[in-house]
Every structure is written in C-alpha cells, then in structure tokens.
Structure 1
C-alpha cells in the first residue's frame, strides 16, 4: 500500500488526535494511530477506549488498506520535516512502514490494524445540532469546575441537559457549581447526559474557530460529535447527576456589584497572604465599600484591600476560598459581576452584571466559615 500527502496535511490531522493517545495504555496498540485508506480518503483514528477521535483527509493512494502506526514517532518525524510531499510505503504482510521525503527515508515498524479496538457504533440514537461557538462557550464556562474525585464519577464530567425550553450545561465539584444556560438552543427531546471532562477538553482543542454546526448523536452509552471531517466518540458517564436546581438559592438578595478585573487583581494579591491550606479570604461589605482581607496566623502574614462597589442590602461579612473565586472570575466574560449573598453560612452566587442575549451564566460557591468577625 502506498499513499502521498504533504507533511502539513498529515501533521494537522494527527495533531488534533494526539491528545487522545494514553501515556500508559491498557493495551499497547493504543500507542498507535490507525490509518485506513478507502477510495483515496485516509481515515486516521486515535483512541484510549473511552474516547476516540477520527479525522479524514484526501490523499493520493494506489490501493485501499489499513495499518497501525506508532503515534509519537510519526508525529515527531513530521514535526521536524519542512513542508513537502511525503510518500508512505507500507508492507501489509510485515507491517513495515517507510516514509520517503525529499531529505531522506525513515523506516519504522507498524502493527496489524485488525488488533486496533473497534470504535463504538451508536445504532439508533437521538441527535441535536449545536453551533460550535455555543459548544466552545459551554465547555469554557463549565470544564474548570468538574471534580477530580473518582469516588464521585457523576461530577467528573459536564451535565448536558437540553429540553424544549432551553439547554443547561452544568458542572460541580461539591464546593462550587456552574450552570451555563442557552435560551436559543432547544430540542424536541430531553437530553440528559454526562460527558467526561477529558473528552470535552479534547473537543475544546479541536472545535473549529469559525462558527460551524456540530451534530451530537447519543444513546445510553456513547455520544458522537461530528463537524467537518472530524468525529469525536466518547463513552458517557453512566451515573445520575445531582439535582442541581435544588442547590441554587433563590433568596440571595444582598447584591454587591463591582468591576470584575478589579476584584480579580485584588484576590490574586490578597491570596498570597492567606493560609495555604484553606486559601481563605474575608469579604466585609459596609455600605459601598468591600474590604477583602486574609491572614496566615502561623506565619504572621496578613493583607487587606478596599474596593468600591454598588451595594443593595445589609452589611455582611463572609469567607470564601480565593482560588475558587479567581478561577470563576477568570471564566466570566463580563466587565462587571454581581455577588448575590444571603448569610455568612449560605452559598453565594456570582453572575455577570449583565447577561448577553440568549445566555445565562450562574456560578455558585460555598463559603468558608469565619471563626472570628472583626
């Protein structure tokens, strides 16, 4: 089997797939890309058994065939070659691969394509079309808040909850909860699936920068996201996502509105002086002034800053984990944010002061109990 393509063409395809390749695979062949040629179309597949990405590209080929090619060696070779046509000569009997370029010849050992695990087929499935920019935003708003706790598998991914009214994308790690709602995305079906954070992280890196429709097909076990010449297939998390709507407080009417970048910069400075195990900062709101402070008694470190704010409600003093707040503020695209508070022991909400049309962003964070009030 022989085919020819430019180094940039092949490299572009395998770069999108490289993130799937596991560092310590359960079966050795997963360290390979699966190359399959049919009627002049090269289909490249990478998989870790839970998530697979397939990409297609046209090449000049003399015959159909398939081979598993070592992923790292191939990627490293093409990265270090200048832009030029390269020809792959493959012996399907010995699985020997020869890559010929203007500069030289590179020979490596492949493996039998038949040993590569089969990719799940959905059969009967529901489908939904999501614009790529909406999907990019949904992943960006939620992915950082997923849990790393394998004892809570339902929280290791993002909950896609699409109804006839709207679409909710939800993530939580028990300390915070993010709900990104799109009013312009509905379906005449109820989609309630949890997609693992690794699959979403990979998808975020390969989604097109230009607006393009992404087709999501899913059944009880798997989901397929298709766009352009690329498909991402992932196994769903077979767990029940917590009833997130009941966690979101409805009576947080103590409102503090302030500049997002100003608060973000303040927190980045103040957290330096906080206790390293809790990262606790104290918010003290009096009138139109917010005082942010932190102390680490063990090392006699302390710091405080004052920020102007718009305040509607009673004076309040409440503690939060600064690292959580910093991550949340980094992932809100708004000039001003509003903190919706109620009591020192109750969850606080962070929302954009003004939401964009058709979208609603809500971020919940649990407080840290303050032991002494000043």
Structure 2
C-alpha cells in the first residue's frame, strides 16, 4: 500500500474516526485504525466493538493499493503536528513491515498489526430508514443528552430513547432521556419512513460521536435501524452502533399533568442569578431555594462553610399569579435545563415537593421534568 494525501484532508478524516478508539483496552487491535486505499479512494475505519466509524476520502493519489492498520492516536497526533499544506505519504510494503510516513523532511515508522485481526462490525439487516435535516437531529440531541444517566447499573438509562409516537393527535419522532432526577422530552414531526420503527435506546457514547459529526453538515442525515443496531450516514462518514438491549421506563407516568402554578421568568437573568447564588457552596448537590410570590422571586442558598447568598428578581423579569411557594432544586440541574431555552422559561408547579414541569415558552415541543430537593 502506498498513497499520498494532503495533510488537512487526512487530519479531518482521522479526527472523525480516532475519537471512537478507546485509549485503554485489553485488545491491541482496537487501538488501531484500518487504512485501505483503492481506485483513488482512502477508507478509514475505527471501532471499539460497540461503535464503528467509517470515512471514505476521494481524490487520493494511490501508487499501490492495499490495506494495513496503524495506532490511531499516534497517527492522529503526528498528522496534527505536521505543517499546514504538507503532503503526507503513507507506505506499507506488506506483512510485518512497518508503516512509513513521510512529509517533507519528516519521516517516521509506525508499528502495524495484521489486517486479519481487525474486527468487522457487520450490520445485518436494517429494515427501517428515514432522513432528518442535520439541524433537527442536533436539536433532538442537544435538548436531551444532558439528562442521560451515567449510572452504569441502570444501563437502560445510559442513552436517548428514540421512538415514533402520537402527540395531540399528530405523529411525532420523540427523543427522551432521564437519570431519575430530571427528564428531557423533545419531539419533531415524524419523518417519512419512521412510522413503523421500533423504539430504540442510542448509547451515550454514540450520541456524543453523532453530535460531533452532525456539527459539520447542514445536509440531510440518513438513518437506518433495526432492533439491535443503528446507522447514520453523514456526508462521507458512516457511524454504526449497537443499541442498548433494555426496556426504557414508561416515562409518561412521571410527567405531571395537573401542575397549575405557573412561573414565567426571563432565562438570562434567572440563569445568571442562579449561578451567583450557587457560588456560595462548593457542594454540587447544594440546593438553590426559590421563594415565589406574586410577580416576585427570591433565590437563596446556604453553606455551612461559606454562609448564605440570595438574589431578588422582580416584576420586569418574573410573572407569577398563584399562591406563594417555596421549592428547591440542584443548581446544576436548573442550569442544564435553562441552557436549552432561548428566552422565556416556564415553570409549572404543583407544590414544593412534587415534580416540576419546565418548558421553553417559545418551543412547546420541548418539555423537561425536574425533581425538587428538600430545603
């Protein structure tokens, strides 16, 4: 195998695939990227056996077609540190020979592992398929992934639940995530072809890789899936992932229906005040208390070591017409939700101990549930 490619093109492709590779693993070949060239096209593949990313790069100058593997992180770091505009030549004579990399006056040899050892993540049949504009997919991910659980024992919460359902008489594609403390539910109009899709749980790592790749395009992203796997075609990149084998909880049961005490507050002033008040304590779980009265909101927090802090927001940014209420929330959870909201935050309370519904006043298709803390 021997080919020449521009440094910028190779670097971009390596950046897409190498982040899938686990830095520490017990199977050496999984630290490598599979490099294949033929007919003027470079194909890079990386996998951790749960996710596989493949990118095809056209327009490569191929002297000798072939395949080999190379350490992904090392190759990426070398290419990243080469000067802009450099032409990179990769040359592998075959067998156990090292992979030679040359760029200008720089050259290095990289150890390779046999191509035959590189695992193949065969997809099988993916009978369900539809497309989403990249912007819509980014919104679904951004507005839900913060609520994905990191508790490995509840593995069925370690991803986003994507499914087709009905909302107010309209069929929608809905994404849901929860960690038991907060829940995020966001929906988009159901795309053509998604009506019979199974409900699937997309793992957290896959969600994060997908979000990075979706950032680079404004085009439609093709999605194909089965009960066990999902594939995203994003330009020249193909991301394939196993799905979480578990049952997502009946999330609708935890969404309150009768919360009739409505607080509307300007997002910017509210989020900044929460940040200032919460700074009094270094404990991440320390609650911020909301004391709410007619068109008036007092935020407060206390710390045994640092003392107490409070800030008052008044009628120019607060609208509240119900009976007085006191309720506490973890500051980080409040911020995670308000980060998803553009201007006006709408809180729907029942009382000081019941789950609270939070909405973006301008985007009713997004709904959040937040569990209160004792204050």
* TM-score, structure 2 normalization: 0.93
The question of 1:259 aligning with 2:240 is answered: no
Give the aligned partner of residue 201 of structure 2. 194
Question: Cα 1:31–1:210, aligned 2, differ >3 Å: closer, same or farther?
Answer: closer
Matches within 5 A, 1:249-288: 249-274=256-281, 276=283, 278-288=285-295
1:363 to 345, 364, 368: 368
The whole-number CA distance in structure 1 between the counterparts of 2:38 and 2:331 is: 54
Rounded to whole Å, the distance in 2 between the matches of 1:80 and 1:289 is: 55
User: 1:4·1:60 contact (CA, 8 Å) conserved in 2?
Assistant: yes
Q: What is the CA-CA distance between 1:124 and the residue it aligns to?
A: 4.4
Instruction: Measure how far apart 1:320 and its partner are.
Output: 1.1
The answer to whether structure 1 residue 310 and structure 2 residue 319 are counterparts is yes
Cα distance, 1:257 vs structure 2: 0.4
Q: Is the 8 A contact 1:281 1:294 kept in 2?
A: yes
For 1:181, which of 187, 197, 213 is the aligned residue?
A: 187
1:113 paired residue number: 115
Aligned residues: 365
Contact 2:289 2:328 in 1 (8 A): yes
Q: Does 1:218 align with 2:219?
A: no
Give 5+ residue unaligned stretches, structure 1.
none
Alpha-carbon contact 1:279-1:323 (below 8 Å) kept = no
The match for 1:21 is 21
Q: Is the 8 A contact 2:293 2:322 kept in 1?
A: no
Which runs of structure 1 show a deviation greater than 6 angstroms over 4 or more consecutive aligned residues?
none
Taking structure 1 as the reference length, what is the TM-score of the superposition? 0.93
Give SS of 1:151's match.
helix
Report the 3-state secondary structure (helix = DSSP H, G, I; strand = E; otherwise coil) of the residue aligned with 2:23. coil
Task: Give the aligned partner of residue 170 of structure 1.
Answer: 176
Deviation of residue 84 (structure 1)? 2.0
Q: In structure 2, how many angstroms separate the alpha carbons of the residues matched to 1:33 and 1:120?
A: 17
Between the aligned partners of 2:77 and 2:131, the Cα distance in structure 1 is 36
Contact 2:128-2:197 within 8 A present in 1 as well:
no
* Whole-angstrom CA distance in 2 between matches of 1:185 and 1:170: 17
| 1:8 corresponding residue in structure 2 | 8
Stretches of structure 2 that go unaligned for 5 or more consecutive residues are none
- Listed one character per residue, the Cα deviations across residues 132-169 of structure 1 (whole Å, up to 9, x for unaligned) are 11111111111111111011011100000124700111
**CA shift for structure 1 position 73:** 2.0
Cα displacement (A) at 1:106:
1.6
Q: Distance in 2 between matches of 1:184 and 1:315?
A: 41
